Amino acid sequence: MKIIKESVPAADGFRMPAEFEPHEGCIMIFPERPDSWQYGGYAARRAFAAVAEAIARSEKVTVCAGEAQYDNARAILPEQIRVVEMSSNDAWARDYAPTFVKNAKGEIRGIDWGFNAWGGLVDGLYFPWDKDNKMARKLCDLLEKDVYCKRDFILEGGSIHVDGEGTGMVTESCLLSRGRNPQMTRDEIEDTLKEYLNLSRVLWLPCGIYGDETNEHVDNICAFVKPGEVVLAWTEDQGDPQYAMSKACLEYLEQVTDAAGRQLKVHKLPLPKPVTMTAEECRGLDGCWDEPTRSPGERLAASYVNFYISNGNIVMPGFGVPEDEAAREILQGLFPEREVIQIYARDILIGGGNIHCITQQIPV
């Protein structure tokens, strides 16, 4: 593995492919920490395994497990899924596995961004985050890919989406947060994204999903379904604080064009009714230092936009609520060539994210 510090992907002819382009495989991390995953993580591990199995129907899946959970991961996951030992602080592959870029010859390289647990000492979610921050480089070594070193720039994979044709999409709430790169201007951040992902246009949604602890990652509110088309998490309930947030995003999307000069077609994807923590669930979570990680009645950042596009399927969350079915039908209509698999994901949501957050694709 070569560590590249002297050049940037765009200058070398590399670009980040869209998630709907073909994958070599997918990376996941086995969940473990008892302040993220209720009741020792048993239910979360079953949910992660169901996601891994669904993805493995059409692409290779590698699951990283810490030493303590390795045997259990191997026992739970079917034999077609590869399990490798790798230490981490938590299980968000989207946010700390490498972002992969590809050139015209089909060569793949990784990008190793800095990671500080979604806000570092300002508003990060746990401390320390050293193991997570090492994963991108370890994964590139494992996968025998050269890696661009950009650890002086804090970025999570879930805070960016691209259409593969020069357009990127982020949220202001996240990329301009005080806990990430406060020394950089918005233009400097945009230029960095353009250089590393090979973009000519970056779309800045104002915000994301209400209560999303990641400072509102884009991957929970809006995603490309193809170049020129996005799905946007939506509610018609004007009494919900999410209403103004989704509306602000819609208004922004209606007045911008993408890298190819297209106006975006926006498909609304209705959110479930607010999903909240039960007291029983809260009792099953360890505290993080001296604070509880969740409180009874707390609203979780549930969104159907947090799906993964595998080679053959759309793997999307369900929450065991009536709204699940309408969301499934909308996504099935938007991806007619990939069968939608809906997985009961409340046990992933409790950890703070969803199916897109726990996966990272490797382009082919």
Stretch that binds a second copy, among 7-15, 66-74, 239-247, 348-356 (CB under 8 A): 66-74
DSSP secondary structure letters along 80-109: TSEEEE---SS--HHHHSPEEEE-TT--EE
Stretch that binds a second copy, among 47-55, 77-85, 264-272, 322-330 (CB under 8 A): 77-85
288: helix, strand or coil: strand
Nearer to a second copy, 74 or 299 (CB): 74
* CB closer to a second copy out of 53 and 240: 53
Per rule CB under 8 A, is residue 176 in the interface with a second copy? no
Nearer to a second copy, 82 or 226 (CB): 82
Interface residue with a second copy among 50, 86, 108, 355 (CB under 8 A) is 86
In 155-306, the DSSP E strands lie at: 161-162, 167-171, 201-205, 222-226, 229-234, 265-270, 275-276, 299-300
Q: What angle in degrees, to the nearest 10, is found between the helix axes of 67-76 and 42-56?
A: 60
Size of the site for a second copy (CB under 8 A): 21
d(CA 119, CA 8): 25
d(CA 194, CA 16): 10
| Nearest CB to a second copy, comparing residues 145 and 217 | 145
Among 12, 39, 72, 82, binds a second copy (CB under 8 A): 82
Q: Which residues contact 155 (CB under 8 A, 6 or more apart)?
A: 113, 114, 175, 180
Does 6 bind a second copy (CB under 8 A)? Our answer is: no
Whole-angstrom Cα distance, residue 224 to residue 231?
6
Of 28 and 305, CB closest to a second copy: 28
In Å, what is the CA distance from 337 to each residue of 6, 68, 101, 151, 331? 41, 40, 25, 38, 11
Residues catalogued as catalytic: 357
- Pattern 130-169, a second copy, x by CB under 8 A: -x--x--xx--xx-x-------------------------
Give the residue, chosen from 79, 187, 290, 291, that forms a contact with a second copy under the rule CB under 8 A: 79
Q: Which residues bind a second copy (CB under 8 A)?
A: 1-3, 67, 70-71, 74, 79, 82-87, 131, 134, 137-138, 141-142, 144
